Structure 1
Amino acid sequence: MSDLKEAWMALEEHWKIKPAAEKISGDQAYNFLRWTLGSFFRILLRMKIRGVKNVPKKGATILAANHLSHVDPILVILASRRKTHYLAKDGHFRNFALATFMRATGQIETNRETGGGEALSNAATVLHSNRALGIFPEGTRSKREEAPFLLQGKTGIARLAASYPDVPVVPIGLQGTRDFMRPSKHKFPRFWRRVEVAFGKPLTWWQWLEKKVELEELQGLAHKDGHEVKSVLSGYYREFTDEFMERIRGQGAP
């Protein structure tokens, strides 16, 4: 282990996100639905996929994309060909049929009123289980009426990357999904509309840290109080997030 990694690990109490106790489930139903719905979508969908070789075929992975439509998670799953677990707001679990579908496919209910801690713990469970986690760093679907649609990223993506520094984070640019199925305007997908899913080269927290942070700075944090450490780490998280959002933009996110 390098000196930089040792210095980072010495700060573990300040950055480690503990996984929730919930078990990731839904494999059998997930496989069935992915095969049936996936085949249906692939037949009808005009989807161009770029860079899928950048998606690890197995192991813990974070798939991070821009967010313009309710269908974005489905398109990422279809294009990446990974079993991907998304955090979904609790409103999607109030309808019995929809809730059954969400749970059967391993999607995770998150109550926004309890704050971001629960969501991050649930997300950590996915990574701890060596699964693929799908997230939208913007934190919500962009409702801007004109381009650029990409919002500032929330730092949750950086906190997860920092807590699992070996896990690759893949930037994904989605184009055309807003016209494919625009919320509050289109009741059904418009399959004649072309969509594009582009996967960029993955980035790990270790790779970012080695380029952006000096060893002496990290080692010095071990002698500071908790508030000072938290302040410095918050700066790291913001810088990582901003850089990663530019990577998403670089993959064509409008």
Structure 2
Amino acid sequence: MSSTKELEAAWSALREHWAIEPSPQPLPKTPVYSALRMFLSPALRPLLRWRIHGADRIPRTGATILAANHLSHVDPIAVIAAARRTTHYLAKDGHFSNPMTRFVMHATGQIETHREAGGSDALAGAANILINGKALGIFPEGTRSKRKEAPFLLPGKTGVARLAAAHPHAVVVPIALVGTREVMEPQHHKWPRLHRRFDVNAGEGVSWLQWLGSADGGNMTPASLQSLAQAEDHEVRSELARMYRTFTDQLMASLTALGAP
């Protein structure tokens, strides 16, 4: 069996094909966020009818991707509360147009992305979070599910796989949110119904390198990666696209297995 170092070296040889240039913007300071987590979060926990399963599977430090299904406006709050560490989300620039919401978004460490810049701006912002060893919250579906009936889970977009591949030691943790739609259904409830029960189910995390060398994952060896590095560019792109899709599909299957409706 090849060592992780050999696999990492072989993967690094393909860097020009998978690297994501991080945003040069410094991450925002989060004193308000820290204060809310320290004082408000413990006060709210007894009032909420929620259960966290697998909280110990969420790393307390280091680059981490928290990948959850998306049903409701309360989903980011549920993930952040379960993580019990500063977690950054990417947010559309429209959320920063109002001075009050802009202050809250910046104070809680959320990262502004500009729609006119396309997906590259979002990936650069996400890469900046991970390269600084922080936690990134992400919804692999790319949007909140608009379905009116179960199954609500949408096919995953491969951006999460691209980020994992560009930060191969970052741990990707699948998190299934169950019941948050009933807490605050989009376009139906103006305020969250705190009396409704919901669950946050965290699964086993895996890094890109772990997945890459697993027989049940990428099933790649140093030799196969070295061979890929010698291939034509279009062949490399095609193979990476296949790996990204497989990683994403397996992540979405994990969310389903954890109970994501």
Q: TM bucket by the smaller chain?
A: over 0.9
Pairwise CA distance, 1:40: 4.3
Aligned to 2:205: 202
Pairwise CA distance, 1:36: 4.1
Unaligned runs of 5+ in 1: none
Selected match of 1:240 from 243, 247, 250: 247
Aligned to 2:38: 35
Deviations 1:80-105 (A, max 9, x none): 10110000111211122111100111
Aligned to 1:121: 124
Partner AA of 1:184 in structure 2: Q
Pairwise CA distance, 1:185: 0.8
Q: Distance in 1 between matches of 2:154 and 2:207?
A: 22
Aligned to 2:219: 213
Selected match of 1:25 from 24, 28, 41: 28
Unaligned runs of 5+ in 2: none
Q: Secondary structure at the match of 2:66?
A: strand
Q: Distance in 1 between matches of 2:37 and 2:5?
A: 41
Deviations 1:126-154 (A, max 9, x none): 01111110000000000100101000001
In angstroms, what is the RMSD of aligned CA positions?
Answer: 1.3
State whether structure 2 residue 55 is matched by structure 1 residue 49. no
Q: Percent identity?
A: 55
Partner AA of 1:33 in structure 2: L
TM-score scaled by length of structure 1: 0.96
Aligned to 2:177: 174
Pairwise CA distance, 1:174: 0.2
The within-5 A match list for 1:218-229 is: 218-229=225-236
Q: Distance in 1 between matches of 2:238 and 2:38?
A: 46
Q: Distance in 2 between matches of 1:121 and 1:97?
A: 26
Partner AA of 2:85 in structure 1: R
Pairwise CA distance, 1:188: 0.8
Aligned to 1:253: 260
Partner AA of 1:196 in structure 2: D
Range with bigger deviation, 217-226 or 126-135: 217-226
The within-5 A match list for 1:51-70 is: 51-70=54-73
Pairwise CA distance, 1:182: 1.1
Pairwise CA distance, 1:213: 2.9
State whether structure 2 residue 83 is matched by structure 1 residue 77. no
Aligned to 2:150: 147
Q: Distance in 1 between matches of 2:134 and 2:5?
A: 27
Pairwise CA distance, 1:219: 1.5
Q: Distance in 2 between matches of 1:214 and 1:91?
A: 42
Q: Distance in 2 between matches of 1:219 and 1:14?
A: 13
Q: Secondary structure at the match of 1:241?
A: helix
Q: Distance in 1 between matches of 2:66 and 2:233?
A: 31
Partner AA of 2:144 in structure 1: R
Partner AA of 1:50 in structure 2: H
Partner AA of 2:228 in structure 1: L
TM-score scaled by length of structure 2: 0.94
Aligned to 2:141: 138
The within-5 A match list for 1:155-170 is: 155-170=158-173
Pairwise CA distance, 1:57: 1.1
Q: Distance in 1 between matches of 2:78 and 2:202?
A: 12
Q: Distance in 2 between matches of 1:182 and 1:36?
A: 27
Aligned to 2:89: 86
Pairwise CA distance, 1:242: 0.3
| Distance change (3 Å), C-alpha of 1:180 and 1:74 | same
Q: Distance in 1 between matches of 2:8 and 2:134?
A: 24
